[in-house]
């Protein structure tokens, strides 16, 4: 879908309310990640693939060990997408 088409149906009652909520969601997540998340997790695995266009890193790791002070988790495959941010990188992991 092109962005112009998106704009049209977003400018409806339902669309407007949903956009407001999405904005609130953005703000909440950003502040939560910045303020409320304090732990540090180390992870280590073998690199299967990496990619870096447009300042966005994509990694695919195999046999990964997620290590936190308290516990250890082992996973076969991890895909990591990361981009730059002011204090910490924002990471989504599947």
Partner 1 sequence: MDQNNSLPPYAQGLASPQGAMTPGIPIFSPMMPYGTGLTPQPIQNTSSLSILEEQQRQQQQQQQQQQQQQQQQQQQQQQQQQQAAQQSTSQQAAQVASGQAPQIFHSQTLTTAPLPGTTPLYPSPVTPMTPITPATPASESSGIVPQLQNIVSTVNLGCKLDLKTIALRARNAEYNPKRFAAVIMRIREPRTTALIFSSGKMVCTGAKSEEQSRLAARKYARVVQKLGFPAKFLDFKIQNMVGSCDVKFPIRLEGLVLTHQQFSSYEPELFPGLIYRMIKPRIVLLIFVSGKVVLTGAKVRAEIYEAFENIYPILKGFRKTT
Residue 72's contacts (CB-CB under 8 Å, 6 or more residues apart) are 65, 66
User: Is the CB of residue 49 less than 8 Å from the CB of residue 77?
Assistant: no
Question: Rule CB under 8 A: is residue 52 a binding residue for partner 1?
Answer: yes
Of residues 13, 55, 70, 87, which one binds partner 1 by CB under 8 A?
Answer: 55
Question: Rule CB under 8 A: is residue 50 a binding residue for partner 1?
Answer: yes
Residue with tokens 């407007």: 16
Length of the chain, in residues: 94
Question: Rule CB under 8 A: is residue 53 a binding residue for partner 1?
Answer: yes
Question: Rule CB under 8 A: is residue 4 a binding residue for partner 1?
Answer: no
Question: Rule CB under 8 A: is residue 79 a binding residue for partner 1?
Answer: no
* C-alpha dihedral sign at 19, 24, 30, 32: negative
Q: In the complex with partner 1, which residue's Cβ is closer, 3 or 53?
A: 53
Contact set with partner 1 (CB under 8 A): 49-55
């Amino acid at each position: 879908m092109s962005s112009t088409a998106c704009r049209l149906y977003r400018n409806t009652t339902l669309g407007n309310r949903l956009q407001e909520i999405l904005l609130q969601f953005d703000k909440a997540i950003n502040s939560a990640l910045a303020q409320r998340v304090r732990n540090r997790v180390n992870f280590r695995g073998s690199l299967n693939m990496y990619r870096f266009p447009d300042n966005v890193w994509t990694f695919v790791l195999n046999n990964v060990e997620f290590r936190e002070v308290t516990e250890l988790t082992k996973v076969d495959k991890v895909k990591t997408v990361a981009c730059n941010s002011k204090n910490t990188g924002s990471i989504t992991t599947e």
